[in-house]
Structures are given as structure tokens and as C-alpha cells.
């Protein structure tokens, strides 16, 4: 796992660096998406998480979830297009799970991707992701994730 300025980036995930989101392909072909540790640190303590409903189609780079923190309200943009097949209902009562475990129990939605091969071509993994996030954090003057 890569760590950049105290933010973890698991090697087995795909990242859309510009939108600060991750995606993990599951054995059944579905994908799980969520916010990166960096995005959660930028947002601050998350107080609300409203995913799109099951059955809804999500376009590439369009909102799959709306997140609210004390200092920000905005979309979590999907790194792949697809249909919502599951949402993490536990986040309704415990949205700060996104801050404490963004890559585990803080996942947001599961999609059936429309065209994984095409959409995933624009995503980065491993050391390429770490390098890209490091450059982005430095350009944005980000001090680091709090542990």
C-alpha cells in the first residue's frame, strides 16, 4: 500500500485522481466505488451521504453519491459508467465511516459497469496513482491526512 502525506492508497484499487475516487472490481464483474482518504481528509468529518438509488444509471464522471461535511457539500463522481446495484445503507446512520475507513466499510455504491474496459483505461493504480496524488497534493498545498 502506498502512503502519500499520511494518506493511504491501496495498491489493488483503481483511481480517478482528478475526482479523488477509487474503484475496485469484484469477482462477479461489479465494481465498488468510494472516496479516497485524501478526499475524506479534504472534506473533513462527513455528516451525510446520499447515494443514487438502486437501478439508477450513472454516467462516467457524474455524481453517484452526494456527500456533506461541515465545510463541503458535493458529488462523489463515478469513475466508471454503470447501473447502481447496491448502496452502503450503513452510511446513512454512520457517514463518518467514510473518514475512518474509506477503502473498507466506507464504500459507497456498487455498480454493474457498462463498459469496464473502456472506462478503466483512464484510471491509474499502484505507484502511478501514488505519484499522481503526490503531485496533486503538492500543487494544492495539502498538509496531509491526520491519523
Q: How confident is the model at residue 71 (pLDDT cuts 50, 70, 90)?
A: confident
pTM: 0.95
Query: What's CA 135's distance to the chain center, in Å?
Result: 18
Q: How many domains does the chain have?
A: 1
Q: Residue 115's domain is classified under what CATH number?
A: 2.40.50.100
Q: Is 43 within a domain?
A: yes
Residue 147 has pLDDT above 60, yes or no: no
Tens of pLDDT, residues 93-114 = 999 999 999 999 999 999 999 9
Q: Supply the Cα-derived Rg of the chain in whole angstroms.
A: 14
Q: Is 146 within a domain?
A: no
- Residue range 47-73: average pLDDT? 95
Q: Provide the residue range defining the domain that includes 12.
A: 2-119
C-beta neighbour count of 100 within 10 angstroms:
14
pLDDT at res. 33: 98
Tens of pLDDT, residues 24-40 = 999 999 999 999 999 99
Query: What's CA 54's distance to the chain center, in Å?
Result: 18
Amino acid at each position: 500500500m502506498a502512503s502519500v502525506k499520511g494518506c493511504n492508497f491501496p495498491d489493488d484499487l483503481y483511481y480517478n485522481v482528478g475526482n479523488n475516487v477509487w474503484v475496485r472490481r469484484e469477482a462477479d464483474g461489479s465494481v465498488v466505488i468510494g472516496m479516497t482518504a485524501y478526499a475524506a481528509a479534504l472534506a473533513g468529518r462527513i455528516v451525510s451521504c446520499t447515494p443514487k438509488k438502486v437501478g439508477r444509471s450513472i454516467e462516467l464522471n457524474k455524481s453517484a453519491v452526494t456527500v456533506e461535511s461541515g465545510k463541503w457539500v458535493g458529488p462523489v463522481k463515478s469513475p466508471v459508467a454503470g447501473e447502481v446495484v447496491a448502496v452502503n445503507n450503513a452510511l446513512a446512520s454512520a457517514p463518518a465511516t467514510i473518514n475512518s475507513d474509506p477503502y473498507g466499510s466506507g464504500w459507497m455504491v456498487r455498480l454493474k459497469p457498462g463498459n469496464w474496459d473502456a472506462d478503466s483505461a483512464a484510471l491509474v493504480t499502484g505507484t502511478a496513482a501514488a505519484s499522481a496524488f503526490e503531485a496533486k497534493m503538492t500543487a494544492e498545498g495539502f498538509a496531509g491526512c491526520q491519523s
